[in-house]
Amino acid sequence: MPLVRVYLPLDPAALATLREVGEVGPAPVAGHSALPASTRPGIGNDDEEREYAAWSAAAADAAGRATTGGRRVIASADVDAAVVQRTADDGSAVELDSVVALPRIASFHIDEEPGGEISDLLWYDVTELDDVVALLGD
């Protein structure tokens, strides 16, 4: 089955659940993806352009989920294409019809400093989940 890269904005509670239970959920799980053939004005069909737009939208959503003065966290995951449904806005927003298990997550992106610029998001491997959780505790 083909895989689709999705970007999941996480709040501290979702991150703690991922660490304790090993999954992001319950379904439906909101995220963003660079699905092809978007008809939204301003978003082309160039793969890199769509990927950056999806990642940026996830970062914006993560800012809304962060605690006051907290850091944004995004999980990048590769999930089965069959569980990814585009939402009505026809942008990069998607819903996943299933939970996202920890083995499906490839990496995390977290603010270097709370409230930082999108270009300052740091990359962490999935094996560094404890480090990401610790950063949120700062």
- Mean pLDDT is lowest, of 1-5, 33-37, 81-85, for 33-37
- Tell me the C-alpha distance between 107 and 46, whole Å: 23
Nearest C-alpha neighbor of 26 from the set 106, 102, 96, 107: 96
Instruction: Write out pLDDT tens, residues 94-108.
Output: 999 999 999 999 999
- DSSP letter assigned to residue 41: T
- DSSP letter assigned to residue 2: -
Instruction: Write out pLDDT tens, residues 27-37.
Output: 999 999 987 75
- DSSP letter assigned to residue 51: H
What class, spelled out in words, does domain 3-137 have in CATH? Answer: alpha beta
Taking the model in full, what pTM does it have?
0.89
Domain ranges in the chain?
Answer: 3-137
Is 66's pLDDT higher than 80? yes
For residue 82, give the amino acid letter: A
- Tell me the C-alpha distance between 42 and 40, whole Å: 6
For residue 25, give the amino acid letter: G
